Every structure is written in structure tokens, then in C-alpha cells.
Amino acid sequence: MKVFQLAGGILALSFIGLMVVRTAAAQNQQQQDPTWKWPESRVFETVNRVRAGRDLTPKHWPNGARVAVGLSFDFDNETPSLRDGQTSPALMAQGEYGARAGLPRILSLLDKYDLPATFFVPAISAKLHPQSIKDIVAKKRHEIGVHGWIHERNSLLGESDERDLMRRSIEALTEMTGKKPVGLRTPSWDFSPWTMKLVREFGLLYDSSLMADDRPYEVMMDGAATGVVELPVEWIMDDFVYFGMDRQTTLRPFTTPDEVFTIWRAEFDKAYEEGTMFILTMHPHVIGHRSRIAMLERLIQHMKSKTGVWFATHEEISRFVKDGKGN
């Protein structure tokens, strides 16, 4: 026990060390160009670059359903390690688990309950696992959306690099799936000042990377409505924060599947009560493990035990709210 405590203490210190470095960087930036010196106009201009516009929750979901449920799986596999130049075969194997073991379990679970889902796929992940993409497409009810080229940190890129990677990602997915993707989830939900501009340039229907609400909303850019639908996400409804582990920076133990079930069920129950929407973000290399996929099945059974639950892809939800069909 003492050994664990010691190891935990060292990890805690390295985590705190990282936070101190980050805080110092933020403080340095603040000293160079302190926001308290900004004119209000500059504060408003910055905050208004991308904001939430009108609530798009319909009065009724299709067939009078009370709630829309969008199950999404970010098919990252090796790419989050690759983007940081971490190429150890051990890390590659941890990612490969998603395609090799996780995805087949997910697809068979979705088959069992006849559910649609959206898979956000970095283009490199699709190229590394072409059979997985064929397996998803063969089901004929799932959607494939954009999730970067190599899970790049797009908020650190210049505008032209981000545009180039988005173009190449869309082209690669279109070629592999036979359908042009209509939605984006940015890698790690990062957002640069021009990401939304690029979403419009490429004519995408929706984004699913922002967090201003639990309900679908229209994105505003520089104070004007964009027509782009936002299906908001949250770390609370992401498997990685509970089950993922970074041994460099954290001593956080894995959360148990039972605890995650309790949180996700409460999120769903409130969405059901409010008549809104429940968007869940998962990763085949994270949720695909045995104890966790069993928990996801329990959650699906709970949702299916209620009447009026509409399971749909992100594209279907976005088209429904954008067209105002339920009003």
C-alpha cells in the first residue's frame, strides 16, 4: 500500500508540475497582453467569434418522441498517439485494439438493438483500418463524419494548414465511403478561431465539438447566424475521462463501469424529462473493453425501456432540427 501511495504521490506531483507549467504559460501571456487592459470591444469581438445562437430543440421529435439519442464513436485508434509523435509499438497496439477488438463488439451491439450510430474517423485511422470502414458502411444505417487527418491539434495550426487537412480528410472519407461527410467533430474538441469559417467553406451541415448547451443550437459567427447546427458535447458524456489513463500526468484510477452507468443514466433521464437530446461520445479503444461494453448495453436497455426515444445519427438529428420539422 505504501508503494502505491509513494507512486501516487510522485504522479500527483508530476501532474501538479504540468499544471504549474500551463498556468505559468497563461500568466506569461496575461502579462504580455493582459485582458484587463483590453477595450470592451475587443473582449466582445473575441467572445462573439463563435457563440451559441437560437435553440433548435423541436416541439416534437419524429413520431412524437420525447428525446433524441445520438450515439457517437470516435474511431481514433492509433492517431492520438501518432499526432504527438508517440510511435511506440506499445501505444500503437493500445490504439489498434479499437479496430481489432472494440469495433466488432460495438457493431454487434448496435445490430442486436437495431440502432444507428455516428462514427467520427480521422482520415489516417480510416486508411490504417480500411476493413473497419467497410464493416461500418456495410450496415447501411451508420454515419461517418470528419475527425481530422491524424487527430491533429487544430487549434495550434495556421489557417491554411487547418484548411488543407480538412480538405484532405473530407476527400479521403468520401473516397472510402462513397458519400461525402456532412458533419465534423474536431479532434479533442479543439477549436481554432477559424474552424467555424472552414466548416462553412466546406458546406458542412453540423458540428459536434462545442459545449454551450445540452440542446441542439445554431452556431453564430461574429454575431451572425451561420445556418450550421451544433450538437453539443460534454466531457461528462465522454468515456475517455472515466476510463482513459495517462500514466505521465495522472494518478486518477479508472472509474468503475457502474459509476459511469449511474452518471450517464442520470444525464439521459434528465434529457428525457426535459424533452431534449442526449449525445454520447465514446471510443472503440476505450468503451470496447469487455466490462465497459456490457455497461453500454445496460444503458441501451434502460433507454429502450422508455417510450418515445428516437435513436438517430447526428446527420439525421441535424437535418430534423435544421428543417424545423418538429415545430
Given the rule CB under 5 A, which residues bind Zn ion? 74, 76
Q: What pairing do the DSSP bridges indicate for beta strands 277-282 and 217-221? A: unpaired
Q: Considering beta carbons, is residue 147 or 197 the nearer one to Zn ion?
A: 147
User: CB 111 → Zn ion: shortest distance, Å?
Assistant: 24
Round to whole Å and give the CA distance between 66 and 236. Answer: 22
Q: Which of 234, 295, 302 is nearest to 260 (CA)?
A: 295
CA 303 remoteness from chain centre:
21
Quote the Cα angle for 197-202-205, to 5°: 90
Q: Considering beta carbons, is residue 72 or 313 the nearer one to Zn ion?
A: 72
Q: Considering beta carbons, is residue 93 or 225 the nearer one to Zn ion?
A: 93
Round to whole Å and give the CA distance between 199 and 56. Answer: 19
140, HSE (Cβ side, Cα atoms, 13 Å):
0
User: CB 79 → Zn ion: shortest distance, Å?
Assistant: 7
CA 74 remoteness from chain centre:
6
User: CB 187 → Zn ion: shortest distance, Å?
Assistant: 5
Measured CA distances, 303 to 27, 71, 245 (Å):
45, 12, 28
User: CB 57 → Zn ion: shortest distance, Å?
Assistant: 26
- Return the SS3 of 120: strand
User: CB 188 → Zn ion: shortest distance, Å?
Assistant: 6
Q: Considering beta carbons, is residue 285 or 289 the nearer one to Zn ion?
A: 285
Round to whole Å and give the CA distance between 243 and 71. Answer: 17
Q: Which residue is nearest to Zn ion (CB)?
A: 74
Q: Considering beta carbons, is residue 120 or 264 the nearer one to Zn ion?
A: 120
User: CB 76 → Zn ion: shortest distance, Å?
Assistant: 4
Cell of 119: 462514427
Q: Considering beta carbons, is residue 74 or 316 the nearer one to Zn ion?
A: 74
Q: Considering beta carbons, is residue 142 or 215 the nearer one to Zn ion?
A: 142
User: CB 125 → Zn ion: shortest distance, Å?
Assistant: 9
Non-local (6+) Cβ contacts of 229 within 8 A are 56, 205, 206, 207, 216, 217, 218, 219, 318, 321, 322
